[in-house]
Amino acid sequence: MAEKNKNLSSETSYNIPQASQFKVGMLVSEWNHEVTDALKEGARKTLLDSGIHEANLVIKRVPGSFELPGAAVMMLEADDKMDAVICLGCVIQGETRHFEFISQAVANGIMQVGIDYNTPVIFGVLTCDTMEQALDRAGGKHGNKGVEAAVTCLKMLELERGPIKNGQI
């Protein structure tokens, strides 16, 4: 589906779950803020439109994408129990291999936090060659990957609370 449409943000068959009972954390990288702010707004609107109460949406900033996994752990271990955490960031290729190391570490770190805490921790980090590619995915011609991260979060919460919890899978 992604190959055909190249804009999953406009896909209407998402069947987005209603989410008023959930508390969701959102971590947003300050680096490449023009991109991450757009991702945040797309995710925020999607979550609020799905029924999450503003008070149950906790948004925090982190310096860069590399800090997202550690901040996700902090958020999950905080007193206010989060049902899920969405990690939003943007890493853009430069002239050195730094991009590869950061992208790999962030992807693996976010995945590991979700596994370790048995909680949906959503990867919403763009890894692009250029700023133009990033902007195209942050509300441009390829949609808003923040919206897609929020939908993924909601579907994982629905899955966790529904069939998996009730032993149907």
Residues identified as active-site = 98
| Residue 9 backbone class (left: φ over 0; alpha: ψ -120 to 50; beta: rest) | alpha
Q: Which helix (H) or strand (E) holds 63?
A: none
Report the C-alpha gap between 35 and 40 in whole angstroms: 9
- Residues sharing a CB contact under 8 Å with residue 114, sequence separation 6 or more, in sequence order: 120, 121
Structure tokens at 74: 């902090």
**DSSP sequence for 64-126:** SGGGHHHHHHHHHHSSS--SEEEEEEEEE--SSTHHHHHHHHHHHHHHHHHHHHTS-EEEEEE
CA atoms within 13 A on the CB side of 61: 7
